[in-house]
Amino acid sequence: MALRAEGYGSFDRPYATAGGDRAPSMDMGEMSRAVFSRLRLLVPCLALTLGLALAYALVAPKSYTATMSLLLDPRERVPAGIDAAPLPQNPDPALVESQMRLMTSQIVLLKVVDEQRLADEAPGLIGSLFEAVRSITGEAAPTAEVRRLAAAEKLAKSVSMKRSERNYVIDVEVKGRTRQQALAIAQALADAYLAAKARLTDDISDRERAAIDRKLNDLRVRVEIAERKAQEYRDKNELVVSEGRSSPEQRLKDANSALVVAHGKRADLEARYAQIKSTLAAGLDAQTVNEDLRSPVIEKLRSDYAALARDEAYAQSVLGPRHPSYLTIQKQMESTRAQIRAEQHRIAQATERELKTAREAERTATKFVSTLEISTNKVGDKRVELNDLDRAASALRASYEKALAARETVRRDPISAPLAMLISPPSAPMSPSSPKTLAAFLIALVAGLNLWIAAALVAEYRLRSSAALAPTRPREVGRPTSLGAAAASQKLWSPPPRGEHEIPELPRSRGAPARAGPGSVAPAMRAAGPYRVEIDALFANLLDALAASGRTPFVLVAGAASGSGASTVALSLAHAACNRGLRALVIDRNERAPALSDFAEDFEPATLRRSGVRARILRRDGDGEILLQPLHGQDRPVEGVACDDDAFDLVLIDAGQFRAAARIARDSRSIDAMVAVARKGADVARVEDDLDRLGLADLCVALTFTAARGRSLR
């Protein structure tokens, strides 16, 4: 269960806690009477404050306020002249805040001071007084630079800026002695800010350009040195680079290519020559000539041979084998075959000669490649060093080209970020912005009323302090705490005149539940109000009745009927005691309606050391403390912090109705007083008859009438 700490803290305690003189105190009614009885103080107080307001309106210099608006676009842009994709947009509000600081920087303010000649402006009334005092004392007049800086500082105080969190528009207000001056200063401030912003951008570009130029000069020298070293090394070692290769490597590559061609050509000729030799050895006829042996001559002879073959077949079938034409055709065919064989032998001889030439070319290429390989191996180490020199020169050349491109980018006109533009030119109303005469007189009126009230209360306090105040009741308490503890048999008082009290309605929030009655007691007793005033008066009446106490008094609080408000009155009296720095114990004996026991369930538990009774800590305030012993507290298990039984100044018993109170008084025989509670409008005679009939009339020291509402007050 969560522990509540309602009532804890530093509350007002207007009463003294010891037996000395009490400080003068007043309730709200007395304060009202004290104030209104001194109406004669109202006129001088109002005259004083209104006179001060009038003097302020006459003496204070007039000033006009000019307003303007600037838009700051914090998005970054690509420099002009560069074809590139837009930059990622992530606006930074800190850029806008920085620009606001730039607008009120000394550079901008001094430029405005110089343009508007604010340093030579005539001083006002107060400035004239200071100059007069300075001339009397013989102090040297400020120099022109000091006046210039003072004017810039004064201008900074007259400039105010604000920006909404949802946009990048800056509203600037500038004050001046006249409307024209305010407008001129505002326009000069905007121009000086934009010029300073452009100058700042140019300065940054110039510094970047100078840095890049220094880097370019350094890189240029280093590139020249590196390339010169590489060229000198080539000249020294007679290395010629062609297409990224030195001369021996290029020649070796060409020789290898020639060797591969020669090798292929030789292999092709060998295969062709072998095919021709096999064809000639087989003795093929003219009709089955191999492709390798074909040539235009053989093709022509084969065509002639085919024509003769057709003629032979025709002559044999028509003329007969013995015909002269047939025999002539055969002779021609034999001659053609001989020519074909002769051409084939010629082709074979030519192929053999080509094969010999290819073999010789292959041997020559192989020898040349071997020679070049030896030369390449000799210059290999030199080539490695040359490559290192070339790489170093290439790296420096790349850095130089990159820096050169960066410098070309810087040379272009940049667009600064954030981009500032004046979207609302300076404007000023026709009426001055200060002094605010109406506000000054309203404040003076309120101040005069407060001064009147304070003066009246001080006068009343001094009047009461001068009077002799009776000391509060002296008492020495033995402080037994439990209702069952031993107590003296004699009563502590002789029956005083019974006091009557009208308790107003307990303030609480609308719609609060029934338990809000006890829960609203602590706020009502810590704040000034009619309810606290009447409870304090009831508690003072109770203290007067128990003034002769030699021990802790036990007081019954009982109601004439259910719902009269006895539980709330008992708890309110406990708070009144705590306000005075006393420790009070509230004992719930209202069995029909244990409102206090239910209310205390959420508070911190405690246990009385000697009796072992379970309790709840309702409030702790310095020396003051309130503990509540709930109904059937002796039947609960021991828990919480341990408290001293002999440390209470007052014991209040919530008895419920009169009949239960009479039974408690008979059984305990230790009750010292009783507070009777009845609802407002109840029959007083009937209430007194009930007290006499139940034997409570001698104990009753106060009869209280409450404005209870239903079951909220018990």
CA distances from 115 to 160, 240, 268, 299, 409 (A): 20, 71, 99, 110, 36
Those residues whose C-beta lies under 8 Å from the C-beta of residue 589, and which sit 6 or more positions away, are 483, 631, 653, 654, 655, 656, 660, 664
Question: Both ends of the chain: CA-CA distance in Å?
Answer: 25
Beta bridge partners of 399: none
**d(C-alpha 431, C-alpha 413), whole Å:** 45
Supply the pLDDT for residue 122.
67
Gap between the Cα atoms of 307 and 459, Å rounded:
161
DSSP state for residue 633 in the 8-state scheme: G
Give residue 585's pLDDT.
92
Tell me the C-alpha distance between 587 and 464, whole Å: 38
Residue 259 · residue 245 · CB < 8 Å = no
Output the CA angle 15-21-23, nearest 5 degrees. Answer: 45
Report the pLDDT value the prediction gives residue 48, as an integer from 0 to 100. Answer: 92
Closest CA to 98 of 420, 448, 403: 420
pLDDT at 575: 92
pLDDT along the chain (714 residues), means of 10: 32 35 62 81 90 86 87 65 51 73 86 85 64 65 80 87 81 88 89 85 78 82 82 68 58 77 82 75 55 65 76 78 79 79 78 83 82 66 70 83 73 58 85 84 91 87 58 36 38 59 75 62 84 89 74 88 88 90 90 86 84 85 86 65 77 90 85 89 87 88 77 42
pLDDT score recorded for residue 714: 42
How many Cβ atoms from other residues are within 10 Å of residue 209's Cβ?
Answer: 14
pLDDT of residue 610: 75
Residue 248, pLDDT score: 64
The CA-based diameter of the chain, rounded to the nearest angstrom, is 192
The token pair at 530 is 């009619």
- In terms of phi and psi (left: phi > 0; alpha: psi -120 to 50; beta: otherwise), the region of 650 is beta
User: 590, 655 in Cβ contact below 8 A?
Assistant: yes
* Confidence at residue 676, expressed as pLDDT on a 0 to 100 scale: 92
> Alpha-carbon distance 700 to 609, whole Å?
32
The encoded tokens of residue 687 equal: 């209430």
Judge contact between 123 and 142, C-beta under 8 A: no
Strand 604-608 and strand 614-621: the pairing is antiparallel
- C-alpha 187, offset from chain centre: 35
pLDDT at 711: 44
- pLDDT of amino acid 8: 30
CA distance 140 to 143: 9
In DSSP terms, which residues pair with 246 in a beta bridge? 241
Do 704 and 678 form a contact (C-beta atoms < 8 A)? yes
- Which residues is 652 bridged to in the sheet? 555, 586
